Amino acid sequence: MSSRTPTGGASNQGAAGGSQRDRTIGDEWWRREVVYQVYPRSFVDSNGDGIGDLDGVRSRVDHFSWLGVGAVWLSPFYPSGGVDNGYDVANYCAVDPVYGTLDQFDTLVDRLHRSGIRVIIDQIYNHSSDEHPWFTASRSSVTDNQRDWYIWRPPRRGHRGGEPGAEPNDWQSFFGGPAWTFDAASGEYYLHLFHRKQPDLNWTNRDLREAVRRAMQWWLDRDVDGLRLDVINLIAKPAGLPDAASHPDLLAMLSANPALHSYLAALRTSLGSRRTGPPTLIGEMPGASADVASLATSTERGELDMAISFDHVELDRGETKWDRVPFPGGRLGTTLAKWQLDVGQTGWNALYLSSHDQPRAVSRFGDDEAHRARSAKTLATVLHLHRGTPVVYQGEEAAMANYPFSSLDEVRDVESMNYAADALAGGARREHVLDVIGAVGRDNARTPVQWDGSHGGGFSHADPWISMNPDHVDWNIAVQRGDGESVLHHYRWLVALRRRWPIVADGTFEPLVWNHPQVYAFVRELGAQRLVVVANLSDAGTPAPDLGVETLDLIHSNPDVELRTSPIDVLEPWESRVWIRRVDGDARPVDVH
Ligand code: ISL
Ligand code: CA
């Protein structure tokens, strides 16, 4: 392998070249950089088969550099069982030919490093695919020495006669139906918190844990800088696998298991990379309490560097994600603020509004009709000026919106397909099912990136595996590159602001309004410096609360008003402003507008 020492300069302060580095508190790169999430399948198709690939990602490294992000997180590109777009891994140490080759992966890593951009890869070790050789061996016989690498249980005795249908407990799968599948050959059930083709790994087994560690290290030895650990809060199952009664209870029960922290602590001490020392560990933690996230990411424990939390993306969730409740005004700000206070001071949050699992942020939290650009900018301002590591999901930087589904034939995601089948069988109207999928289905995030307004949107010359949103003609990255007032340029400005102003990375956080139905405002402080953000997160104008910002300089306003220091009387729909009190010696923020 060639030398992969990055030569990228500015974006790389904090990364040690060559020698192993202690995990020094406070100077980690991720405190002042932004992560960009790539879902390779939908990013760029380089070879005309309609599916995005690794060479496609490499062809757009200039986009990451132009935005100024410090790291790219790649969603899965491993061989898979084909049910969950790669989150069902059939070989942990290989590249799926659909996405390219291992050589192409190494070349991509090298190219990113030469641009000073770190590489974070997705690691999925709560479960594997049922096509993984580990599971094939485990299922082959109750006496196989890998039997115990997965979670097998006999039917529940005395319950429906102990026959198939008598699942060992009441746990429900994320993708609908029981979390257990009966294996007739051995007369036992195996556990799968997700699809039946995604059996859960048994972390109580020491050999399994060692195999996982080795596979992770295999990638770190290829100079990967960090790992995003899929549903890591669910790996430790409670002894006896007690009934859970509900989905939230199950998530809380799994997350609260102390064994989780011992597994993470052991991983932390055993993983390392020659180039950068300890890898950056990002834990995805759906349903974990702020206490658990705070504990895992606290500087003392340092099990994980940051946690991806979910409260703010579940505000419109009813009993299941498909039973939607009206989006409660004002709750977005309050929920983000809660995680800032409960986790952000002692631990560290990953900050996000969109991902490959969520509908598009501008459609869900903003207004993708009358105020599309303005609401996208205000949402980004609020998120990026929090304490934590912002994660931009591909296309978000150009205000990509939800897809206008008109037929179930357009649906690709297994979660939505399962929901549609169940709902239709239960008598739901097709229009209703389409409406719900259009609002919260994961495919909204997975339509191809809108690079330009051409027929294939700059994604592919072939028919894409999932339809491109027809609005790419007007809403695309090329158009916005040429417009200094665009959403895209605003993201670039926010990334630069975090790098240049230590207060954005290191300042404390305090909310300035609480439970206001429209307005969200907060202050960050670092020494004598002060940064105030005020935002109207609604479609209606509102009187502005008095925030005492007269003595501060307005450094950003959306929409643009003359930069002045006088107080604001009224906040227009989706208006936001950023104020700062400079102290002697401050650099001025880079003006990239
Ligand atoms: O997508 C969700 C709800 O619609 C989430 O609950 C999601 O299932 C959860 O965040 C876990 O996500 C991760 O693991 C899944 C995979 O399908 C997701 O894409 C991944 O991000 C199983 O590996
Ligand atoms: Ca391709």
What is the mean predicted confidence (pLDDT) over 55-68?
98
pLDDT tier, 23 (very low <50, low <70, confident <90, very high otherwise) = very low
Coil/strand/helix, residue 229: strand
* pLDDT for position 299: 87
Mean pLDDT over residues 439-452, rounded? 98
Mean pLDDT in residue range 299-313: 95
Q: So what's the pLDDT on residue 17?
A: 33
Query: Quick check: 230 and 88 in contact, CB under 8 A?
Result: no
Is residue 14 scored above 60 in pLDDT? Answer: no
CA-nearest residue for atom 9, ligand 1, is 286
What's the pLDDT score for residue 159? Answer: 62
CA of 188 to the centre of ligand 1 (A): 26
**Which pLDDT score, from 0 to 100, does residue 6 have?**
34
Which of the listed residues 41, 357, 411 should we mutate to test ligand 1's pocket, taking the one with most ligand atoms within 8 A of CB?
357
Name the residue at shortest CA distance from atom 23 of ligand 1.
87
Q: How confident is the model at residue 64 (pLDDT cuts 50, 70, 90)?
A: very high
Closest by CA position to 325, among listed 218, 239, 436 = 436
Q: Is the CB of 303 under 6 A from ligand 1?
A: no
Is the per-residue pLDDT at 494 higher than 80?
A: yes
Verify whether ligand 1 is closer than 6 Å to residue 124 (CB atom): yes
Cα–Cα distance measured from residue 38 to residue 53, given in angstroms and rounded to the nearest whole number: 11
Span 373-391, pLDDT tens digits: 999 999 999 999 999 999 9
Q: Ligand 1 pocket, 87 CB below 6 A?
A: yes
Backbone angles phi, psi at 94, to 5 degrees: -160, 165
Higher pLDDT, 7 or 95: 95
Q: What is the mean pLDDT of the chain?
A: 91
- Is the CB of 150 within 6 Å of ligand 1? no
pLDDT given at position 161: 59
The CA–CA distances, whole Å, from 143 to 138, 147, 166, 506 equal: 9, 7, 23, 54
In the numeric block, which tokens belong to residue 215?
């596979």
- Confidence check: pLDDT of 13 > 80: no
Inform me whether the pLDDT recorded for 417 exceeds 70. yes
Using alpha carbons, list the distances in angstroms from residue 335 to 130, 310, 328: 37, 10, 11
Read off the pLDDT of residues 532-576 as tens digits, 9 standing for 90 and up: 999 999 999 999 988 878 778 888 888 877 654 456 789 999 999
pLDDT band at 206 (very low <50, low <70, confident <90, very high): very high
- Evaluate if residue 290 carries a pLDDT over 70: yes
Q: What residues are paired with 152 via a beta bridge?
A: 190
**Which residue has the least CA distance to atom 10 on ligand 1?**
286
Q: Provide the Cα torsion 4, 10, 11, 12; round to 10°.
A: 50
Maximum average pLDDT range among 316-325, 438-447, 572-581: 438-447
CA of 86 to the centre of ligand 1 (A): 11
174 lines ligand 1 (CB under 6 A): yes
Two tokens, residue 17:
């070249």
Among residues 37, 39, 45, 59, which one has the least CA distance to residue 98?
Answer: 45
Ligand 1 atom closest to residue 87's alpha carbon, by position in its atom list: 23
What residue owns the CA closest to ligand 1's atom 7?
357
Of the residues 284, 415, 443, 575, which is catalytic? 284
pLDDT band for 512, please (50, 70, 90 cuts). Answer: very high
Question: So what's the pLDDT on residue 42?
Answer: 98
Considering only residues 394 and 13, tell me which one the structure prediction assigns the higher pLDDT. 394
pLDDT value of position 11: 34
Identify the band that residue 582 occupies on the pLDDT scale cut at 50, 70 and 90.
Answer: confident
28 lines ligand 1 (CB under 6 A): no
> Can you read off the two tokens belonging to residue 49?
């088969």
CA distances from 13 to 133, 279, 354, 367, 469 (A): 41, 15, 27, 37, 38
Question: Among all ligands shown, which has an atom nearest to the Cα of 316?
Answer: 1
Name the pLDDT band for 21 (thresholds 50, 70, 90).
very low
Tell me the pLDDT band of 591, cut-offs 50, 70 and 90.
very low
Among 53, 230, 397, 413, the active-site one is 230
Question: Is 230 assigned a catalytic role?
Answer: yes
pTM attached to this predicted model? 0.94
- Say how many residues make up the chain: 593
Which ligand is the nearest neighbour of the Cα of 48? 2
Query: What's the pLDDT band for 587 if we cut at 50, 70, 90?
Result: low
Residue 199 beta carbon below 6 angstroms from any ligand 1 atom: no
Q: Is 236's C-beta closer than 6 angstroms to any atom of ligand 1? A: no
Residue 592 pLDDT > 80, yes or no?
A: no
Token reading at 455: 């027929």
For residues 65 and 62, give the distance between their C-alpha atoms in angstroms, rounded to a whole number.
5
Residue 570 CA to ligand 1 center (angstroms) comes to 40
Contact in structure between 586 and 530 (CB atoms under 8 Å)? no
Counting ligands in written order, the one closest to the CA of 49 is 2
pLDDT in tens, 105-120: 999 999 999 999 999 9
> How far is residue 148's CA from residue 135's CA, in Å, rounded to a whole number?
10
For every residue of 414-452, DSSP letters joined together read: HHHHHHHHHHHHTT--HHHHHHHHHHH-THHHHSPP--S
Secondary structure (DSSP) of 121-144: EEE--SB--TTSHHHHHHHH-TTS
Predicted pLDDT of residue 12: 33
Q: What percent of the chain has pLDDT over 70?
A: 91
